A and B are shown apart, each in its own frame.
Chain A
Amino acid sequence: MEASAKTLTERVSRLLLAVFATLVFIFLIAPILAILPLSFNDSTFLVYPMHGFTLHWYGDVFASEKWRLAVQNSFLIGIPAAAIATALGTLAAIGLSLADFRGKAIVTALLLSPLVVPIIIVAVGLYFFFAPLGLTQTYAGLIMAHAALGAPFVVVTVSSALASFDRNLARAAASLGAPPVTVFRRVMLPLVRPGVISGALFAFAVSFDEVVTILLLAAPQQRTIPREMFDGMRDSLNPSITAVAAMLVTLAILLLLVVEWLRVRNERLRKAKVD
């Protein structure tokens, strides 16, 4: 009797939890999905119910010189920034995993600090610091800023891949006569590659979505996608912004799936090592 009462309360609380969790999931996901249909809505007003199907807003975006330039700038800044962040971040993560030394905790905290320092502080700091060096309103300056913001993500993902790396493999390769560079290239890199790739994708996503440094440091012809969206939201919303948003959501889903796939692979490697 008492046992069944317990299971009943348990069942009720379990059900309440499921209902509450579902509502929170709706809060998380629904807003993102809700604007997707509106990008096909044949009306200049961004409201439901829909008024028939059109690809007009996508046509607007693809025909627009403004958005073409924004896409070009986003990649022109995002790809080099992600490349720099990945190269430097991977080396640093390997360094951090190699040995302990005095001040390592402080160095680690500094390397990861771009994750938490408010972006406005970084942007204002660079605004003052880059001006006398002639780096404001240049691609070089923007790439440096975004690389600095993305690098800690690479350090984190590569470190976590290295945590599952069996150091005996490197030792075995070295004892068979492989020079350190070969050990790194032929043994270590293939095994930490999932971590490196997801770090690179994170770093690219950070740059691709970053707007504050662009607001302060970029020249008018260096506006990126988020910068144009920022402007688009300041005056009345044009439906073509929902077309851009829909494409960005699709890209986000693709990136997320790739990173998840890499993470699962890495976990499998880790499990294989434990077994």
Chain B
Amino acid sequence: MTAAAIPATQDRSRLRRDLARAGRRRRLLAIGLIAPLFLFLLFSFIIPIGDMLRRAVVDSEIAETWPHAAAMLRQWDRRKDPDEAMFAVLGRDIEASAKAHTVATAARRLNYAIDGGRSLVMDTGRALRKLDAEPPSWREALVAANPAWGDKKTWIALAEASGPLTDFYLLTAVDLERDSANRIVHRPAQQSLYIEVLARTVLISVTVTVLCLLLGFPLAYYVASAPPDRAGLLMILVLLPLWTSLLVRTVAWIVLLQDQGIVNQMLMAVGLIDAPLRLIFNRTGVVIAMTHVLLPFMILPIIATMRSIPPTYVRAAISLGAHPAVAFWKVYLPQTLPGVAAGTLLVFIMALGYYVTPTLVGGPKDQMLAYFIAFYTTQSSNWGLAAALGVLLLVATAILYFAYSRLAGLNQVRLG
């Protein structure tokens, strides 16, 4: 060890310390710059969505309206028939809620669980509101108001709805329910709706994605292999629909595809059809309009990938004796797969959650999952079910988004 080496090591460790400190400072600055957007999104995006998802499993309506009865029913083992004490607890809660005008909340919740649940609760509330003293028998008072209270099934349904958590909405969202023995069973056919909606949503999304791929891939290849100055113009043509309002494009399709629209006029003029085809306000219209809206999202990632493929590989294959078609199929096509996969996933993700286009150009049998989420939120106020359907949609989206980020890399996201 020479004398000069000692300060050198000291210098080096000081340098390392300084570098580490500078790195720490940079990290802190980075986090400080990201924090405002992160906090903003937390408040205006992430927490609201989390809060909505919570409603899919939280069951608070009965527990808030009839707190004593809900607490009691959570303890009930369901083997014994309800006794007079249980009738009394429930009766007093119903009476109190009827007098406080909150009984409708419980009525709405019980109506999801059993047929006629709303009138059962409202009838009972009306009958009990008139009481000015404790009845001699709560059982008789309740059964007199509505005989359904004598049925143990009503009590089991009420116990199921007493919270604090429930799988009722999630099961309903896939057409399942619990029977009186607490087993998970299929819902009767006339109450089953959502599996069909889910299947329809997936079917429409798959159809649209496949159409986008079939139309988009050749177009992407054409743009990617065009000379640079023409490619720039072609890119603008791809981007124009993207910048055009979704509602403008929807109006355009309604005008074009209506019975006297230009498409029907042309088909009739060339003699392909004699009477106008129904092309809008049905499945055909939904698929055409959605394909038009989502096509640029298929084309752009594929073009980006194609532009990064060096032309030398295909040239090498051909110079080694491969037929151009073989070279295209075996050498070029595999290299486009990342872009194809990214475009396919992106289009499929966006199609799954589509709302505006199917609502405006579809018939009642073409409405997708998002329509029902909106319907149960604003029209029928079945928030638990809206949230449960939202969970299905969001889980599907999250899985596909994860696959997309793995495949495409999030820093590869490009906007034209």
Contacts and interface: CB of A to CB of B under 8 A. Distances in A.
Interface of A: 6, 9-10, 13, 17-18, 20-21, 24-25, 27-29, 31-32, 34-35, 38, 45-48, 84, 88-89, 91-92, 94-96, 98-101, 105, 107-130, 144-145, 147-148, 151, 153, 155-157, 159-160, 198, 202, 205, 208-209, 211-212, 215-216, 225-226, 229-230, 232-234, 237, 241-242, 245, 248-249, 252-253, 255-257, 259-260, 263-264
Contact of A124 (B31, B52, B246, B248): B52
A119 B252 contact: no
A129 B247 contact: no
Nearest to B387: A124
B355 A120 contact: yes
B243 A109 contact: no
B155 interface: no
A215 B360 contact: no
Given A21-B222, A118-B352, A125-B52, A91 B34 contact: yes
Contacts of B246: 209, 211, 226
Given A110-B46, A160-B414, A211-B247, 13 more contacts: A28-B295, A38-B255, A91-B37, A110-B38, A118-B393, A130-B48, A144-B40, A144-B43, A159-B411, A202-B415, A209-B246, A211-B246, A257-B236
A224 to B, nearest CB: 10
B218 interface: yes
10 contacts: A6-B323, A47-B258, A47-B262, A96-B34, A109-B405, A116-B401, A118-B370, A121-B52, A128-B52, A128-B383
Given A32-B249, A114-B45, A230-B247, A216 B260 contact: no
Contact of B255 (A156, A225, A242): A242
Contacts of B245: 208-209, 225-226, 229, 245, 248-249, 252
A177 to B, nearest CB: 17
Interface in B356-403: 356, 360, 370, 373-374, 377-378, 383, 386-387, 390, 393-394, 397, 401
B27 A101 contact: yes
B373 A109 contact: no
Nearest to B266: A48
Nearest to A256: B243
A112 B411 CA distance: 10
A13 B48 CA distance: 53
B40 A151 contact: yes
Most chain B CB within 10 A, of A99, A234, A257, is at A99
Contacts of B203: none
Most chain B CB within 10 A, of A109, A225, A241, A245, is at A245
Given A112-B413, A233-B254, A99 B356 contact: no
B37 A18 contact: no
B238 interface: yes
B48 to A, nearest CB: 4
Nearest to A163: B411
Interface in B222-242: 222-223, 232, 234-241
Contacts of B50: 125
B215 interface: yes
A124 B44 CA distance: 12
A232 B250 CA distance: 11
A156 B154 CA distance: 55
> Nearest 4 pairs between A and B by C-beta?
A118-B353, A95-B33, A129-B48, A125-B48
Nearest to A87: B36
A118 B394 contact: yes
B296 to A, nearest CB: 8
Contacts of B350: 116
B255 A119 contact: no
A200 B51 CA distance: 29
B334 interface: no
Contact of A155 (B37, B216, B295, B323): B37
Contact of A120 (B26, B36, B216, B374): B374
Interface in B1-48: 23, 26-27, 29-38, 40-41, 43-48
B349 interface: yes
A219 to B, nearest CB: 14
Contacts of A95: 29-35
B284 interface: no
Given A28-B241, A34-B255, A101-B30, A125 B49 contact: yes
A119 B183 CA distance: 35
B333 to A, nearest CB: 14
A117 B248 contact: no
A111 B38 contact: yes
Interface in B253-306: 253-256, 258, 260-262, 265, 292, 295-296
A107 B377 contact: no
B219 interface: yes
B31 A122 contact: no
B51 A111 contact: no
B76 interface: no
A45 B258 CA distance: 11
